[in-house]
């Protein structure tokens, strides 16, 4: 620390907090959107719905399913048009025998063994995403913990430690220890003496000593205390030689310069703080539960090609993909469109210029997920990694370990790559089978067991998924300021919903909250129109 500026007491304590992670929120806001705790407390009251009002829902993803469920429960006549042969949209789980065809016609047949699955879309639910958790509770969808931060998972950089992966706990303990030492020793400098009074200084030094596992001389070094956090070279045991061997901390420069410290940031964000959940048996258990409630009103293999509206009604033209693309038309009083804006922008639809401009203003993110099946769960048997995520600067970016069937002796499927942005575009410059092979080759630099244990895999590129053309809407601050309100407002007889109409983009909760808000406003509009008609007569 070459220079210490004058710090207030608040500044100093905030600096300590930032080293533990919360200071990364600005980074997360730019990459994930304005994400945080959900505003949901209860589903809206839709009582008093007029009889015979027809609502057509476009898309059977979570936003469409929530819309259809709530409106139908309120007494509206509801029908859903869905492009795929299944419900869920990006709420999707792949199992053995499933077939997926991406843009360009490349076809993959999933070869996972029975009972194994892979979530190419959402794979976790934060504890504060109350709306989707409430529907899980209503429909009896069983949940189990999702491990986000696993201190025994790996942190890897090809630029650090000769490419050797290290445990998350080592990086976390050593970064915390080194920073605590710097701060504790800095408290003796005159400028900090002026900012922190004597009593607070003594308390703060003691806090830093404990927080950073420092010795009596305020040094972070190899010791029993530091090894209790980062792990021992020889663990505690029993019998004749139970005594451990302390481990040597990483140098601060080995953590800073290659950016190993960045792996510590996500777990401090509220989105990824314990507890997170996943449905038992796959994320699509949620959409399947909705479908059990309203399956008879979903029309599959229906590709929307036009949306028309006037003062009296709305009409939607769609290709019936089961009838060789024959174009059909269906009329309704109102339309709730949950189709991703990446798709809607290519559809001929009647709307105001303001809404059309908003739809065209939102690009969608590129993303690739690769699921890999292995002969055995070597990450558990050999490496003692039970759930969680390994991060790396290799093009695969992340390895995600399954959060169920712990200690099972059978096969397992892990997330072999999770790639965003321009690296995801580069990843899809090669065929899907080659993406899988590449994930195995790169993953072997972290887990040497990969080549011998690998059996099969599947690669899903969201920007090449025909029904989404991207993983999520990427609003810029400028676009949100100019267009968001127009995208959310009811436009004639049309209203949009989906994660793209929320401040929780890329999360299922955003889709659910958007749908609930849309149906509440639509219900209010319908009641107002009904009262107006009644008054005229």
| % pLDDT > 70, the chain | 91
**pLDDT for res 529:** 86
| 411-433: pLDDT as tens digits | 999 999 999 999 999 999 999 99
Report the mean per-residue pLDDT for the chain: 91
Q: Which pLDDT score, from 0 to 100, does residue 42 have?
A: 86
Rounded to an integer, the average pLDDT of 225-240 is 94
* pLDDT reading at 3 higher than 50: no
Where is pLDDT greater, at 26 or 82?
82
Mean pLDDT on 364-387: 97
Over residues 108-127, the pLDDT tens digits come to 999 999 999 999 999 999 99
Q: What crossing angle do the helices spanning 508-536 and 477-488 adopt, rounded to 10°?
A: 40
- What is the pLDDT, as a whole number, of residue 18? 38
pLDDT at 351: 98
Of 432 and 25, the one with more pLDDT = 432
What are the beta bridge partners of residue 90? Answer: none
- C-alpha to C-alpha distances, 65 to 135, 338, 516, nearest whole angstrom: 11, 10, 11
Residue 7 pLDDT more than 60?
A: no
Residue 499 and residue 534: Cα distance in Å, rounded?
36
48: exposed, middle or buried (Cβ count in 10 Å: 0-12, 13-18, 19+): exposed
Lowest pLDDT segment from 21-25, 151-155, 395-399: 21-25
Q: Is the pLDDT of residue 6 over 90?
A: no
Look at residue 506 and tell me whether its pLDDT is greater than 60.
Answer: yes
- pLDDT 10s digits, 313-357: 999 999 999 998 899 999 999 999 999 999 999 999 999 999 999
Which one, of 483, 487, 457, lies nearest residue 373 by Cα?
457
**Both tokens assigned to 233:** 């070279």
Residue 146 structure tokens: 């999702």
Q: Which residues pair with 335 in a beta bridge?
A: 56, 494
Residue 33 predicted with pLDDT over 50 = no
Q: What is the DSSP letter of 321?
A: G
- The model's pLDDT over 443-461, given as tens digits with 9 standing for 90+, comes to 999 999 999 999 999 999 9
Tens digit of pLDDT for each residue in 192-231? 666 677 888 889 999 999 999 999 999 999 999 999 999 9
Domains of the chain: 54-88+285-363+474-536 (3.50.50.60), 94-152+275-282+365-464 (3.90.660.10), 166-257 (1.20.1440.240)
Q: Which of 50-64, 184-198, 304-318, 322-336 has the lowest mean pLDDT?
A: 184-198
Q: What per-residue confidence (pLDDT) applies to 35?
A: 58
| CA–CA gap between residue 33 and residue 30 (Å, rounded) | 6
Q: What is the pLDDT of residue 52?
A: 95
């Amino acid at each position: 620390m070459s220079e210490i500026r004058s710090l207030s007491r608040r500044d100093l304590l905030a600096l300590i907090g930032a080293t533990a992670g919360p200071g990364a929120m600005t980074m997360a806001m730019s990459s994930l959107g304005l994400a945080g705790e959900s505003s949901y407390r209860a589903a809206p009251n839709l009582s008093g719905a007029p009889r015979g009002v027809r609502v057509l829902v476009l898309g059977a993803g979570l936003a469409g399913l929530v819309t259809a469920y709530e409106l139908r429960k309120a007494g509206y006549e509801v029908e859903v048009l869905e492009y795929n042969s299944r419900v869920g949209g990006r709420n999707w789980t792949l199992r053995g025998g499933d077939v997926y065809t991406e843009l360009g016609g490349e076809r993959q047949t999933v070869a996972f063994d029975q009972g194994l699955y892979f979530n190419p879309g959402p794979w976790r639910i934060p504890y504060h995403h109350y709306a989707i958790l409430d529907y899980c509770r209503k429909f009896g969808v069983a949940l189990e913990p999702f491990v986000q931060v696993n201190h025994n998972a790996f942190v890897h950089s090809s630029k650090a430690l000769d490419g050797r992966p290290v445990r998350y706990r080592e990086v976390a303990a050593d970064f915390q220890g080194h920073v605590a030492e710097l701060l504790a020793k800095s408290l003796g400098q005159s400028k900090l003496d002026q900012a922190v009074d004597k009593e607070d200084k003594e308390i703060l030094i003691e806090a830093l000593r404990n927080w950073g596992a420092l010795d009596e001389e305020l040094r972070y070094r190899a010791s029993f205390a530091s090894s209790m956090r980062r792990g021992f070279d020889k663990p505690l045991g029993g019998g004749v030689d139970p005594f451990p061997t302390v481990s040597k901390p990483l140098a601060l420069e080995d953590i800073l310069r290659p950016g190993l410290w960045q792996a510590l940031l996500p777990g401090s964000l509220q989105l990824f703080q314990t507890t997170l959940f996943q449905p038992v048996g796959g994320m699509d258990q949620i959409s399947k539960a909705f479908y059990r409630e309203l399956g008879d009103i979903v029309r599959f293999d229906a590709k929307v090609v036009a949306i028309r509206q006037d003062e009296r009604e709305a009409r939607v033209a769609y290709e019936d993909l089961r009838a060789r693309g024959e174009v059909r038309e269906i009329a309704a009083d109102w339309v709730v469109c949950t189709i991703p804006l990446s798709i809607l922008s290519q559809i001929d639809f009647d709307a105001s210029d303001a809404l059309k401009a908003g739809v065209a203003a939102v690009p969608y993110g590129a993303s690739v997920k690769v699921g890999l099946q292995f002969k055995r769960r070597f990450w558990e048997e050999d490496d003692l990694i039970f759930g969680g995520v390994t991060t790396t600067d290799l093009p695969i970016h992340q390895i995600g370990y399954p959060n169920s069937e712990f200690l099972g002796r059978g096969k397992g499927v892990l997330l072999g790559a999770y790639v965003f942005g321009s690296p995801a575009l580069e990843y899809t410059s090669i065929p899907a089978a080659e993406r899988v092979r590449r994930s195995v080759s790169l993953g072997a630099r972290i887990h040497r067991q990969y080549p011998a244990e690998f059996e099969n895999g599947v690669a899903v590129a969201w920007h090449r998924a025909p029904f989404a053309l991207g993983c999520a809407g990427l609003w810029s601050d400028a676009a949100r300021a100019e267009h968001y309100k127009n995208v959310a407002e009811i436009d004639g007889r049309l209203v949009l919903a989906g994660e793209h109409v929320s401040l929780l983009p890329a999360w299922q909760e955003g889709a659910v909250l958007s749908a609930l808000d849309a149906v509440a406003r639509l219900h209010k509009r319908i009641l107002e129109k009904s009262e107006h008609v009644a008054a005229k007569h």
